[in-house]
C-alpha cells in the first residue's frame, strides 16, 4: 500500500530550537511500516534537508504535490497564531497547516481516501467534522482515547526493549539525582509541586527544555533547549526523572515520549499518582503524591543505586514499556486500515 504521510518535524535529530517530540518515535513507526511492505511518501516539507542540512532522499521520498496514494496519514496540526495562521511568505510563517488543509480537501473530502488523523497533542476539537467522516479514523496516544477514537501510542522499537539490560543500566554512574527534559507548556503548577520543591537547594537537579519564564524558580538549574542527542545523555546521567503531564494528558492516560526515553537510559520515572492508569506505565514503588514524596524517594533510590534492587526496579520499568512496543502499534494500524477500507 502507498501511504501519504504528513508530519511537521524531523526524522533525524534536526535542529535544536524546535519543539518536535516526534523525533523519538516517528522514524521507528515509519521504518516499521516500510518493513511490512508499505511504501511511504512524505507530503510536508523536507525539514531534515532544508533546515538541518541532512539529506535522507536516498532512503525516503518527499512530494510537495498531490501524488497518487492509497491512504492518508496525518500527524495532526492545529492553528498556532503568528506562526501557521499568517499569510504564506510572511516572516516566521510555517505552511504546515495550509498544506494539511490542502491534503484533506484533495484526498479525504474530494476523493474519499481512507484517512488516519493521529491527534498526538489532543488538539482536534471534540465536535470537529472529521470525527464523523466515515473514511476517517482519529487516533490518540492515550490509553483512554476520546469516544470514537483509537488508541495509538508512541512506538518503541521491539529491539530496543528486547536488548535493554537493567543490570548494566543500574551499574552506570549517575551524578544527577533528578532531571526533567521537556518544555514549559501547561506545566507550571505541577512543576511547582513535583520538581521545584524537591529540587530546592540541590545542584544535582536540572531542567532541559524551553522554559520562557523561570523567575519564580530561582533555585532550579535550567539549561535551556539541548540537541536531541543530548536527551539520552542527560537521562543516562540521572538517577530519576519526574513525569510532568499537562492536565489534558493526565486525564486520559496519555504518556509522552519522555517515559521510554528515560527508562531506556536507566533513569527511573517518578510518577504522580493522579495520572490516569498510572500503574500501567510504571511500578507502584515509583508513584508519588507530593514533592515530599519525591525527596524521600530520591534518598531511598540513592541508597540502592547500583545494587540488584536497583536493577530489579529498572527491569520492572522496562516491562511496563511493552504497551508501547512497535509491533503492537503496527497491529493497531493494520486493524484501522482494514476497517476503513484498505487491506494491507
Please report, in tens digits, the pLDDT of each residue of the chain (344 residues total): 999 999 999 999 898 777 788 899 999 999 999 999 999 999 999 999 999 999 999 999 999 999 999 999 999 999 888 888 888 888 888 889 999 999 999 999 999 999 999 999 999 999 999 999 999 999 999 999 999 999 999 999 999 999 999 999 999 999 999 999 999 988 999 999 999 988 877 889 999 999 989 999 999 999 999 998 899 999 999 999 999 999 999 999 999 999 999 999 999 999 999 999 999 999 999 999 999 999 999 999 999 999 999 999 999 999 999 999 999 999 999 999 888 765 44
Q: Classify residue 196 by its DSSP letter.
A: I
Separation of alpha carbons 119 and 152, rounded Å: 9
CATH fold label, 159-322: Rossmann fold (3.40.50)
pTM above 0.85, yes or no: yes
Q: Does domain 2-155+325-339 have CATH number 3.40.50?
A: yes
Domain ranges (residues) in the chain: 2-155+325-339, 159-322
Buried b / exposed e over 51-90, threshold 16 CB at 10 Å, is ebebebeeebebeeeeeebbbbbbbbbeeeeeebebeeee
Q: Is 319 left (phi over 0), alpha (psi -120 to 50) or beta?
A: alpha
Separation of alpha carbons 307 and 24, rounded Å: 29
Q: Is 82 left (phi over 0), alpha (psi -120 to 50) or beta?
A: left
306 and 169 Cβ atoms separated by less than 8 Å:
no
User: Could you identify the residue written with the cell 493497531?
Assistant: 332
Furthest-apart CA atoms within the chain: distance in Å = 62
**pLDDT one-digit tens code per residue, 232-250:** 999 999 999 999 999 999 9
Q: In what order do the strands lie in the sheet with 61-62?
A: 61-62, 39-42, 2-6, 71-75, 115-118, 136-140, 150-151
- Same fold flag, 2-155+325-339 and 159-322: yes
SS3 55: coil
Amino acid at each position: 500500500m502507498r501511504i501519504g504521510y504528513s508530519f511537521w518535524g524531523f526524522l533525524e535529530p534536526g535542529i535544536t530550537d524546535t519543539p518536535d517530540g516526534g523525533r523519538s518515535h516517528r522514524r521507528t513507526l515509519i521504518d516499521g511500516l516500510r518493513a511490512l511492505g508499505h511504501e511511504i511518501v512524505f507530503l510536508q516539507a523536507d525539514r531534515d534537508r532544508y533546515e538541518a542540512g541532512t539529506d535522507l532522499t536516498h532512503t525516503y521520498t518527499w512530494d510537495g504535490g498531490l501524488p497518487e496514494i492509497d491512504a492518508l496519514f496525518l500527524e495532526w496540526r492545529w492553528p498556532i497564531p503568528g506562526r501557521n495562521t499568517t499569510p504564506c511568505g510572511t516572516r516566521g510563517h510555517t505552511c504546515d497547516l495550509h498544506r494539511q488543509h490542502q491534503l484533506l480537501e484533495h484526498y479525504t473530502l474530494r476523493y474519499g481516501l481512507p484517512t488516519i488523523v493521529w491527534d498526538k497533542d489532543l488538539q482536534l476539537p471534540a465536535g470537529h467534522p472529521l470525527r464523523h467522516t466515515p473514511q476517517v479514523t482519529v487516533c490518540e496516544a492515550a490509553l483512554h482515547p476520546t469516544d470514537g477514537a483509537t488508541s495509538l501510542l508512541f512506538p518503541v522499537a521491539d529491539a530496543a526493549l528486547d536488548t535493554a539490560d537493567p543490570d548494566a543500566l543500574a551499574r552506570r554512574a549517575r551524578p544527577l539525582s533528578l532531571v526533567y527534559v521537556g518544555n514549559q507548556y501547561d506545566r507550571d503548577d505541577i512543576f511547582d509541586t513535583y520538581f521545584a520543591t524537591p529540587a530546592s537547594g540541590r545542584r544535582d537537579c536540572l531542567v532541559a527544555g524551553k522554559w520562557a519564564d523561570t523567575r519564580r524558580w530561582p533555585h532550579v538549574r535550567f539549561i535551556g533547549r539541548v540537541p536531541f542527542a543530548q536527551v539520552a545523555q542527560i537521562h543516562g546521567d540521572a538517577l530519576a526523572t519526574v513525569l510532568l503531564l499537562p492536565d489534558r494528558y493526565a486525564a486520559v492516560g496519555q504518556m509522552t515520549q519522555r517515559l521510554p526515553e528515560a527508562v531506556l537510559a536507566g533513569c527511573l520515572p517518578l510518577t504522580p499518582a493522579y495520572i490516569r492508569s498510572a500503574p500501567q506505565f510504571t511500578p507502584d514503588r515509583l508513584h508519588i503524591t507530593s514533592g515530599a514524596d519525591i525527596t524521600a524517594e530520591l534518598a531511598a533510590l540513592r541508597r540502592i543505586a547500583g545494587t540488584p534492587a536497583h536493577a530489579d526496579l529498572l527491569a520492572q520499568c522496562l516491562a511496563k514499556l511493552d504497551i508501547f512496543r512497535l509491533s503492537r502499534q503496527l497491529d493497531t494500524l493494520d486493524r484501522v486500515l482494514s476497517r476503513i477500507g484498505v487491506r494491507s
